[in-house]
Structure 1
Amino acid sequence: MFQSCNGLYADVSDTSITLFWDQPDEATPESIYRIRFDGPEAAKTDRTHVTFLDLEPDTSHDFSVCLSEEGEYGDYEPMLSGTFRTLPAKRAIDVTQAPYNAVGDGKTLNTAAIQRALDDCDANSRVVVPKGTFLTGALTMHSDSELTVLFGGTLQGSTDPADYEPRVRTRFEGVETECYRSLINVGRMDHDASYTTRNVTISGEGSILGGGPELMHATIDLERERIKDQLAAMADYIATCENENTIPGRVRGRLINVANAQNVTISGLTLGQAPSWNLQFIYSDTIVTHNCAFTSVGVWNGDGWDPDSSTNLWLFDSRFDTGDDMVAIKSGKNPEGNAVNRPTRHVRIFDCSATHGHGIAIGSEMSGGVEDVKVWDVDIAKSCYGFHIKGTPKRGGYVRNVTVRDCELAAITIHAVEYNDDGEPGPDQPVFENFRFERVKVLGRHWGEGDGEVHPTTAVLVRGFAKPGHEVRDVVLRDVTLGGVKDGSGLVEMAYARNVTMENVSSLATDTLPAGENPLQGR
């Protein structure tokens, strides 16, 4: 459960407290955070989070965070201080016990049994999935409910699309539409409503896995058959789409879909193999995701973590091995996204890494606006595209106030794109402004999706919109190293850009990118 006090934040359970905080402006790569727990120093770390375990339920604790440099000692003034209270002890609702009697053999469909347990869960209880593989279809969580999957336990999504019916109203690729239900559903989407579901926790040391490529293909095939006459009538349009699956693929569900919800925490789990995106948060607020492993290699559109027209989101201490974007920050697609006008704001991503996938993206569906995004201590060197801000001329909206510090990236790209550009245009072209990259290593190399090969690419690409007043503007690159690795590039390209500042930028490329070859141009 999320708590905050004087700029210090916490995910609190009945027996643990995970503290986290923003990286201060004065922090350096040598900074150490010293944490006092009820008086004396109890921990030190070079990360901006720390966890305390085996605490007593329903007990208050005082914390303070002090900033020092490595090797320094002394009595430091607290940078942040706060008091947090563990939750009262909770009653465990074991899904394998009567009256639920779920069976973890990987074959028995347990949807009704697990849903009954979730329906019975109140603020003083948690639903527990023990060791075993529990096959299920779509599940729904209500306010003040908690789901815990224990170590050795797997909540396994079915591969049959019928287990995710009836369809529900949701948003996919920036457009509100009807899709199959997700494996776990929190809240009901309504862009005119406020938050209708609150205080939901999904945690544990086990796994929540979707139906993966098998469910993905089955869903697309069913939808293609259902709308075959419509598809035949729009053959010319389909030829402009990403592929023949683009339109029938828009009805796929997610792994976890959160809509119009406030105060949702997801932690400790292995998450993945959804038929499309894994975690999506729509029109929601105060979402904390930490200490998770994401896996979706082989899933088309297999994004990891997608905030969509939502506010106050934290992602940290997590690892990604995804079939698409590790993170994709969105806010709707023209012109609907402009009309709904619900931006994504106040996003924090730190202490994360990726071994596969496209990297961190803002857009291309950003018509409602994106602002105040801070990223630090992130390693996405092994990604296809690195850190990627994108939108089409039709989008409208804005992306502004983005800061990236102390990261290792495959590339930095801020640019106008042409793909995913169907539909009517918004009222104007987007505005991209105020981006800051500091103490960043940019390798200038592209990790191929299909062949797994590494190719040199433009290290920094800044290319705005051609319309006057819509150039990318106010970009700062400070203490940035480009290239310096095998198959890397130190190339910088700019067009339609204004007020770009480069301070202490070093190009250490070992390979030269052939003229005209930039894998990011098509992304």
Structure 2
Amino acid sequence: MLRPRRTVPTLVAALGALALGPVALLAATPADAAPKTGTDNTCTQASTRLTGTSPLAPSNLCVPGSATDDVSTLLVWNKPEGGKLDVVDYEVSQDGRVLGRASANAAAHTPSQPYVEAFYAADRDGFHVGVESRSFKVTGLAPQTTYTFQVRAVLADGSLSAPSAAIRQTTAKKAHRSVVTAPQFGAIGDGVTLNTGAIQKAIDACNAPSCVVTIPEGTFRTGALFLRSGVTLELAQGARLLGSDDWRDYPIERGYYLYPIPDPVPTEASYTAYLRPPSLLNVIPADNGRGEAGRQPGAAARGVRIVGQGVIDGNGWKRTAAGSTTDEAGNALPDYVASSAGKVATDGILAANQVIHAREAIDTMPGIVNRPETVSDSSIYGQYRSSLATFIGVDGLYLEGVTADNPAFHGVMFLDSHNIGVYATSHTTFNTNNGDGLEFGGSSHGVVANNFFDTGDDVVNFAAGQGKYGALGRSSQDVWIMGNYVRRGHGGVAIGSHTAAWVQHLLAEDNVFHRTETGALRMKSTSDMNGGARDIIFRDSAVDCMASNAFIASLAYTLSPSGYVSGGSATFRDIAVSNVSVNSNNSKTCGMADNAGKPVILVEAGPGKNADTVGPFAFTDVRFRNVSPTGIQGLTDSTFTRVCFASVRGGVNPWVLDAHSVGNTFVDVTPMPGGGAPTGRCP
């Protein structure tokens, strides 16, 4: 059973105050008033960019990109919006027959739900905002069969809301399955044999409709693998895809450029681009992503899926002396050394092998555009480690169930891709250097639902190019992040620092952030990056035991060398935070560092930071307890409504704003700026 969420004033009112453009202004779709026709119910802009369209029923029932196979599908939906319904759960029906409730389904199918339930069991005084699960994994279906689905909200008094509009979804053709250990492929799961050729052969032979390549139980050592249209890679329970620790198994000529190279190539001395080695799993255009054409969503592949209960292990770093941490649910999570460019040779496995080779061979490394006279060691470290997975130019990409573990560089990267679903995955990369969970770069229409994250860097990160030329690229936009349990890591929902073509239209809701280090919502860029973030909704979430700040909007982020041409200042505007509870930042009471110098709301912008100001923001119905004061520079024209500080370290007034933070409004705020110390409780 889910905890009832607080009834709060409609978010639309808060968004309207910000003049939020498309997020607030698009009208409710009439399609939710009647059964939908057709069987393509992919979650598109209407579902990922908008909040709900009905005050009395769930709306925008849809299926994440490529989530339907021959025997199952995944449903997600928007909550009733703007009404007074006291929702505690959701009930899903198939062809008029009740399948069950969302919370029980999440407990059965996702790694996040047990952590969410344990979190609220420990919240004995009920301080935290409750969250909802709004996904449902439907199993036991028949191939090539059309089913009709609806969902109703379950209310606190046991009654049901009106139903959502019905959708009709058709399953795929019966899958053709190939196992990589079959004699025609010959993979061996002994953890020693190099299986790159055998597994790639199975992938290349996968030509039938609904084709599945299965990695069975065992440890299969491999180098870079390349997926393609229509292929599902399935990792069975007990299967581990173990990355080789030899740079030769990630051939640079099959690698990728992080961003397309402008044509003609920029002549500015500051512009440099590197051909990176491929990741363990890849979809990469034939031109390595150098040109725009191959990066168009769908140009490189369509309908790529990675599913199962197995592990994708990048073999990037050594573990700490302890090796693991027992978490709040009693599970053992791996702990990797927190390394750096200076220590990679000692701490790394694949990371060490790749960096050492690149240092030795840098003068002959191919694919460096506008090669500098000397390639710095920090550039080598930042460009020549393999990530866990890189997908470029894909339309229809789905990940479910798998565990992403120990990358040499980043975790899973979606670049210039479209219609993306990530459901019920686990990311155990703490504290691998740069070990982000999910990276969206120039990608759109995504659903990130009911995942578990314990990462070495930002958790769900959004980027959109750098500086003058990055501003010509594709925005990252229309992504919906819900029902996730976000544990250790840096920013939870992280935007930047690459923001040139804008990160926009994001909806993050019903997530729990526990022991996350640097911002549940972290926005970071620079005064020469261009673009920024706009139309961001962060709501209905619980934030607990942060290592530093809870909310960050900084234009003073420190960048490592990355070879871009400077542009104008980035900015952040039209940011709405509502119905969020924050307990403890920088506090020994929850086992984190005792660092009073980290403001719970950190804004670094404006003339004091040699950057543009930021705003408008709207903070509505947000409560804080046992936190540091704010530190706000360069925030303008923003509103704080029913924001309460129950307690602040040192018993001081929580509001610290600089002279450039002007035009801000405070309504029913406790305490008011300059109004004394907190009272010890919130309404």
Q: Show the counterpart of 2:575.
A: 435
**Structure 1 residues 8-42: Cα deviation after superposition (integer angstroms, max 9, x where no partner):** 22221211121012344337774432222111332
Select the residue among 562, 585, 590 that pairs with 1:445: 585
Select the residue among 372, 392, 402 that pairs with 1:259: 392
Is contact 2:260-2:291 (8 Å) kept? no
Q: Show the counterpart of 1:241.
A: none
Q: How far did 1:155 drift?
A: 1.0
Say yes or no: does 1:35 pair with 2:97.
no
Structure 2 Cα separation of the partners of residues 496 and 179 of structure 1: 37
Cα distance change of structure 1 residues 83 and 396 upon mapping to structure 2, 3 Å threshold: same
Q: Which amino acid aligns with 1:220?
A: V
Cα distance change of structure 1 residues 132 and 419 upon mapping to structure 2, 3 Å threshold: same
Gaps of 5+ in 1: 239-243, 519-523
Structure 1 Cα separation of the partners of residues 360 and 183 of structure 2: 42
Is contact 2:527-2:611 (8 Å) kept? no
Q: Show the counterpart of 2:315.
A: 211
Q: How far did 1:470 drift?
A: 3.1
Structure 2 Cα separation of the partners of residues 217 and 86 of structure 1: 45
Gaps of 5+ in 2: 1-38, 47-59, 103-131, 262-271, 318-348, 366-370, 657-683
Structure 2 Cα separation of the partners of residues 314 and 417 of structure 1: 30
Is contact 2:447-2:481 (8 Å) kept? yes
Select the residue among 304, 311, 324 that pairs with 2:457: 324
Structure 2 Cα separation of the partners of residues 179 and 462 of structure 1: 34
Is contact 2:586-2:592 (8 Å) kept? no
Say yes or no: does 1:394 pair with 2:528.
yes
Q: How far did 1:165 drift?
A: 0.7
Cα distance change of structure 1 residues 117 and 29 upon mapping to structure 2, 3 Å threshold: farther
Is contact 1:128-1:150 (8 Å) kept? yes
SS of the residue 1:169 aligns to: coil
Select the residue among 285, 292, 314 that pairs with 1:192: 292
Select the residue among 464, 481, 487 that pairs with 1:349: 481
Q: How far did 1:80 drift?
A: 3.6
Say yes or no: does 1:412 pair with 2:551.
yes
Select the residue among 196, 213, 223 that pairs with 2:358: 223
Is contact 1:432-1:464 (8 Å) kept? no
Cα distance change of structure 1 residues 260 and 117 upon mapping to structure 2, 3 Å threshold: same
Select the residue among 490, 494, 498 that pairs with 2:632: 494
Is contact 1:47-1:351 (8 Å) kept? yes
Q: Show the counterpart of 1:131.
A: 217
TM-score, scaled relative to structure 1: 0.89
Say yes or no: does 1:301 pair with 2:434.
yes
Is contact 1:2-1:288 (8 Å) kept? no
Say yes or no: does 1:336 pair with 2:495.
no
Q: How far did 1:350 drift?
A: 0.8
Q: Show the counterpart of 2:202.
A: 117
Structure 1 Cα separation of the partners of residues 614 and 213 of structure 2: 49
Q: How far did 1:69 drift?
A: 2.3
Q: How far did 1:177 drift?
A: 2.6
Which is bigger in relative contact order (C-alpha 8 A, separation at least 6)? Answer: 2
Percent of pairs with identical residues: 25
Q: How far did 1:455 drift?
A: 3.7
TM-score, scaled relative to structure 2: 0.69
Q: How far did 1:228 drift?
A: 7.5
Is contact 2:469-2:565 (8 Å) kept? no
Q: How far did 1:124 drift?
A: 3.3
Specify the structure having the higher radius of gyration (Cα).
Answer: 2
Select between 2-11 and 181-190 the one with higher mean Cα deviation. Answer: 2-11
Q: Show the counterpart of 2:602.
A: 461
Greater helix fraction, Structure 1 or Structure 2: 2
Q: Show the counterpart of 2:76.
A: 20
**Cα RMSD over matched residues?**
3.0
Structure 2 Cα separation of the partners of residues 273 and 469 of structure 1: 37
Structure 2 Cα separation of the partners of residues 157 and 20 of structure 1: 33
Q: How far did 1:267 drift?
A: 0.6
Cα distance change of structure 1 residues 191 and 63 upon mapping to structure 2, 3 Å threshold: farther
Q: Show the counterpart of 1:481.
A: 623
Say yes or no: does 1:9 pair with 2:62.
yes
Q: Show the counterpart of 1:521.
A: none
Q: How far did 1:232 drift?
A: 11
Q: How far did 1:501 drift?
A: 0.8
Cα distance change of structure 1 residues 360 and 353 upon mapping to structure 2, 3 Å threshold: same
Select between 197-206 and 426-435 the one with higher mean Cα deviation. Answer: 426-435
Q: Show the counterpart of 1:51.
A: 137
Structure 1 Cα separation of the partners of residues 570 and 291 of structure 2: 22
Q: Show the counterpart of 2:677.
A: none
SS of the residue 1:453 aligns to: coil
Structure 1 Cα separation of the partners of residues 68 and 389 of structure 2: 21
Q: Which amino acid aligns with 2:575?
A: F
Say yes or no: does 1:97 pair with 2:182.
yes
Is contact 2:525-2:532 (8 Å) kept? no
Say yes or no: does 1:470 pair with 2:604.
no
Query: Number of aligned pairs?
Result: 502
Is contact 2:69-2:210 (8 Å) kept? no
**Structure 1 residues 80-126: Cα deviation after superposition (integer angstroms, max 9, x where no partner):** 42111121211210100110011000000000000000001122321
Structure 1 Cα separation of the partners of residues 179 and 282 of structure 2: 20
Q: Which amino acid aligns with 2:601?
A: V
Q: Which amino acid aligns with 2:487?
A: T
Q: How far did 1:4 drift?
A: 2.4
SS of the residue 1:300 aligns to: coil
Say yes or no: does 1:177 pair with 2:264.
no
Select between 379-388 and 418-427 the one with higher mean Cα deviation. Answer: 418-427
Structure 2 Cα separation of the partners of residues 308 and 77 of structure 1: 38
Q: Which amino acid aligns with 2:303?
A: N
Q: How far did 1:223 drift?
A: 1.5
Cα distance change of structure 1 residues 513 and 300 upon mapping to structure 2, 3 Å threshold: farther
Cα distance change of structure 1 residues 293 and 154 upon mapping to structure 2, 3 Å threshold: same
